[in-house]
Structure formats: C-alpha cells, structure tokens
C-alpha cells in the first residue's frame, strides 16, 4: 500500500510529460501530411534512367516568341 503513495504521483508526472510532448508535436506539424511521403516514393522522376533516351520538353510560349511568330 505504501508503494502506491509513490507510484501514483510518478504515473501522473509521466502522464503530464507525455501529454505536453504530444501537444508540442501536434503544434509543430508532425502529423500534418501522413500520406504524402508514402505516395512520393512511388512517383517516377522526370530524368530518364536509360541512356540514349531523352525527355522532350514542351515549348514554352512567351511574349517574345509570339512577336517572332507574327514577324515571320
């Protein structure tokens, strides 16, 4: 019985520390995106890994290219 007088305050103290740590991790954003890293590992990179193959980049339209097209 005398051990309970010591164990109950220790248990309450540990519980308070765990609750404070949990609140800190929630406020710091540790649990914001749980699925993002799991999906990111499955996505392919844009770089081709096979030598000799090149990725075609789409031509970006700019105001300068529009002016050049009109002058032709």
The pLDDT assigned to 8 comes to 96
Average pLDDT, the chain: 78
For residue 40, give Cα distances in angstroms to 19, 23, 33, 49: 31, 27, 12, 18
pLDDT of residue 31: 84
- If one compares 57 and 28, the residue with the highest pLDDT of the two is 28
Predicted structure pTM score? 0.48
């Amino acid at each position: 019985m005398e051990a309970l007088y010591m164990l109950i305050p220790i248990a309450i103290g540990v519980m308070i520390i765990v609750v404070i740590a949990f609140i800190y991790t929630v406020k710091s954003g540790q649990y914001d995106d749980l699925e993002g890293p799991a999906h990111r590992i499955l996505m392919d990179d844009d770089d081709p890994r096979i030598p000799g193959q090149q990725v075609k980049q789409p031509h970006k339209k700019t105001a300068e290219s529009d002016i050049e097209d009109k002058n032709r």
